[in-house]
Amino acid sequence: MRFTPVPSLGRLLVIAAVIARVATALTIDINDEQSIKDAASKTAYGSMTWYSGNDTGGIPGAFPEKWWEGSALFMSLLLYWHYTGDDTYNPQVSQGMQWQAGNGDYMPANYSSYLGNDDQVFWGLAAMTAAEIQFPDVDGGFSWLSLAQGVFNTQIARWDPTNCGGGLRWQIFPYQAGYAMKNSISNGGLFQLAARLARYTNNDTYADWAEKVWDWSASSPLLNNKTWNVADSTDIANGCKTQGNNQWSYNYGAYLTGAAYMYNHTEKSNWKDAVDGLLGVTLDKFFPKKYGSNIMSETLCEPAEACNDNEILFKGLVTGWLAFIALLIPSTYDQILPKLQGSAQAAAQSCSGLTNNTCGVRWYESKWDGWVGMEEQIIATDVLSSSLLSKGVAPVTSTTGGTSKSDPNAGGSDASSKQGQPKPITTGDKAGAGILTVVFIGLWGGMIAWLFIGN
């Protein structure tokens, strides 16, 4: 994934807090479903104020420089619709997810020249989510299930047995930094996608691949199936003997969720052992005792206020996955629900910025921390929506209500699955961010001048 720094401009919006009147946080009663829905409607609206894909001249689903984040936005809005029933944003979700579909595999020509396997798989997981929550297929478009299958097909074509005995590389093309690495989120993402496809379709091909990715990961430094440590990356140059052991919540969440789907699908005890092991570490590590044990924190970057846009999104993804795990494996429900509820309450309290319910990153502060961005709104929507989960309503399959159409051969003919050279990204795709930066500098300068002149 990519993070394009905006020279601390977003963070400098803290100055606006000096000027702005104090806003009321989103107060929720965790036992009042409507109060949670009302709060989620505000955070979802806030996330969409950053989206221009449905504006005149806009490109649906496009986020120049950080294309993968479109999948995070749409995934949060899918969960929002699923748990609240509010279909306000469904047309934009359908349009954006179709527009960026490429040849049915989420390798669109304008972005695919710089994508990683992790970037692509998140769009596949968004499409899989749409199929599992019965989000309507688009007439004349790709079915959600076929898009997930297309991503799966192009990714297994990149499986690399010649280096380290298997695994996906982080990046797709040799000219990309990170091509010489294999990492947890790329492999864990493929594992999760394969497991979800196996459960939805009851097709052994997907289950076999899920086993294959899991076994390779457990044989590498990425996944320790004794201690349940999940490392971030390993290096091909040294034969994948060492690990980059940064601890990120979404690495744990990717493998944990895939294991939960495999256990639900197979009822094999080894998958339940994996769920119990990974869940225990995840809840202990990312719901720290010093914050009361029920508020999620991206512990590697939040205390130092060092999270980039990618890293802000991680815990939002994980809270959505945890809700699905609780529904897939009822024995985990009582462990997970208090974590989601505590995090939802804290996240709501963080949404008190700039007089318009702007949300923060560090939920454990239970107030706005001065951070501003689409990512902050997305993760608040994720956790608020996911705290509405109900017992017994698991993601559907093709035999329990799923209607999305299958295409097992989807995406397989896309040349980019192996050695293709897609069209480069255009300068037009990069222009928007530069323009917004210039506008913001002028705006911020004006605020500072007003502050000093006013005094």
Question: How many Å apart are CA 406 and CA 57, to the nearest integer?
Answer: 33
Q: For residue range 383-396, what is the model confidence (pLDDT) as tens digits?
A: 999 999 987 789 99
pLDDT of residue 447: 38
Enter the tokens of residue 435. 């323009």
Q: Residue 393's pLDDT is what?
A: 86
pLDDT in tens, 184-238: 999 999 999 999 999 999 999 999 999 999 999 999 999 999 999 999 999 999 9
φ, ψ of residue 302 to 5 degrees: the values are -65, -45
pLDDT at 19 over 50: no
47: nearest Cα among 321, 342, 312: 312
Domains assigned to the chain: 11-454 (1.50.10.20)
**Residue 65: pLDDT band by 50, 70, 90 thresholds?**
confident
pLDDT at 429: 36
pLDDT confidence of 285, banded at 50, 70, 90?
Answer: very high
Residue closest to 365 by CA, chosen among 282, 291, 312: 291
The average confidence (pLDDT) of the chain is 88
Residue 140 has pLDDT above 60, yes or no: yes
The whole-number pLDDT of residue 413 equals 55
28 in Cβ contact with 36 (< 8 Å): yes
Q: Tell me the average pLDDT across 359-371.
A: 97
Confidence (pLDDT) at 110: 86
The better pLDDT of the pair 148, 417 is held by 148
Is residue 167 within 8 Å of residue 187, measured between CB atoms? yes
Residue 368 vs residues 26, 348, 440: alpha-carbon distances, Å: 11, 9, 21
Pick from 15-24, 67-76, 91-100, 245-254: least confident: 15-24
Q: What is the pLDDT of residues 96-132, one digit of tens each?
A: 999 999 999 999 998 888 899 999 999 999 999 999 9
Average pLDDT of span 50-61: 93
- Note the pTM of the prediction, 2 decimals: 0.87
Helix, coil or strand: residue 49:
coil
Note the pLDDT of residue 64: 81
Q: Are 329 and 285 in contact (CB under 8 A)?
A: no
Closest residue by Cα to residue 177 from 309, 1, 306, 301 = 1
- What pLDDT score was predicted for residue 264? 98
Residues 438-448: tens digit of each pLDDT: 333 343 344 33
pLDDT digits (tens, 9 = 90+) for 314-345: 999 999 999 999 999 999 999 999 999 999 99
Is residue 97 exposed (0-12), middle (13-18) or buried (19+ Cβ within 10 Å)?
buried
Q: What SS3 state is found at 54?
A: coil
Check residue 454 and give its pLDDT: 40
The confidence score (pLDDT) of residue 438 equals 38
What pLDDT was estimated at residue 412? Answer: 60
| Locus of tokens 């040799």 | 174
Task: Quote the CA–CA distance of 204 and 222 in Å, as a whole number.
Answer: 25
